[in-house]
């Protein structure tokens, strides 16, 4: 089981240090969230900086709000980051009739890996139609049916192999004041959804809870677990 770190966004100046520590440790991936009206760093710019300060760890967005960006420019940004990091990002086809491809060419055959997130069947179907895998921001008890839905659509579309399955859970480890600050930040982040209390209750705050979640996702056949700090 690969375990990645979703970087905290409260102090962007600390991200370099956190990324370098993760790169020196056992973690597989660095992730950054994307939201427009919030004090998070823009993920593609931030990840470009972080990949320059690291050497092996993969980077990915969780999630990227693609409709906010120009399609061609987004493709070029992703292709550039993918190529300059040697394939550590999350196809070289013509942009349209009479025009050439958006470059540079991807670092590996095909294109940068694309994961889709979602909770409804119509959203999860995109994994099989256009993607490479499924990102599930849910605990094991919720994720089991989501994983099954993603795999079912994958077979219905007669895709080869299996979709890459990435799970995501929110965590906070440390003294009480650190945990309380994280819970307050999470409550503020999810207030607009009307489910802030539920989201805070799902935050993992002990090593045992985190180990249990990783074990649960392992049993469900997930390829990676992202621990969002």
Mean pLDDT within 119-131: 96
pLDDT, tens only, 171-207: 999 999 999 999 999 999 899 999 999 999 999 999 9
| CB 224, CB 2: distance < 8 Å | yes
pLDDT band at 111 (very low <50, low <70, confident <90, very high): confident
- The Cα 29–Cα 5 span in angstroms is 6
At residue 53, the pLDDT reads 94
At residue 108, the pLDDT reads 74
Q: Domain residue spans in the chain? A: 1-113, 114-229
Domain 114-229, CATH class in plain words:
alpha beta
- The Cα 154–Cα 181 span in angstroms is 40
pLDDT at residue 94 greater than cutoff 70 = no
Q: What is the DSSP letter of 26?
A: T
Report residue 116: phi and psi, to 5°.
-115, 140
pLDDT at residue 46 greater than cutoff 70 = yes
pTM above 0.85, yes or no: yes
- The Cα 101–Cα 95 span in angstroms is 5
- A 10 A CB-CB count for 60 gives 25
């Amino acid at each position: 089981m690969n375990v990645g770190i979703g970087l905290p966004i409260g102090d962007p100046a600390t991200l370099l240090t956190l990324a370098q520590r993760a790169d020196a440790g056992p973690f597989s991936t660095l992730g950054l969230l994307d939201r427009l009206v919030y004090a998070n760093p823009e993920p593609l710019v931030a990840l470009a900086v972080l990949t320059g300060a690291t050497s092996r760890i993969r980077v990915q967005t969780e999630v990227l709000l693609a409709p906010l960006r120009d399609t061609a420019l987004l493709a070029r940004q992703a292709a550039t980051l993918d190529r300059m990091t040697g394939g550590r990002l999350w196809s070289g086809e013509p942009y349209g009739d009479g025009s050439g491809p958006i470059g540079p060419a991807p670092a590996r055959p095909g294109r940068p890996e694309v994961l889709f997130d979602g909770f409804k069947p119509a959203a999860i179907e995109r994994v099989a139609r256009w993607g490479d895998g499924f990102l599930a921001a849910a605990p094991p008890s919720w994720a089991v049916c989501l994983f099954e839905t993603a795999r079912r659509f994958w077979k219905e579309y007669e895709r080869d192999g299996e979709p890459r399955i990435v799970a995501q859970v929110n965590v906070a480890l440390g003294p009480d004041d650190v945990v309380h600050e994280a819970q307050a930040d999470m409550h503020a982040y999810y207030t607009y959804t009307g489910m802030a209390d539920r989201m805070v209750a799902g935050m993992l705050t002990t090593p045992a809870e985190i180990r249990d979640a990783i074990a649960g996702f392992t049993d469900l056949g997930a390829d990676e677990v992202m621990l969002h700090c």
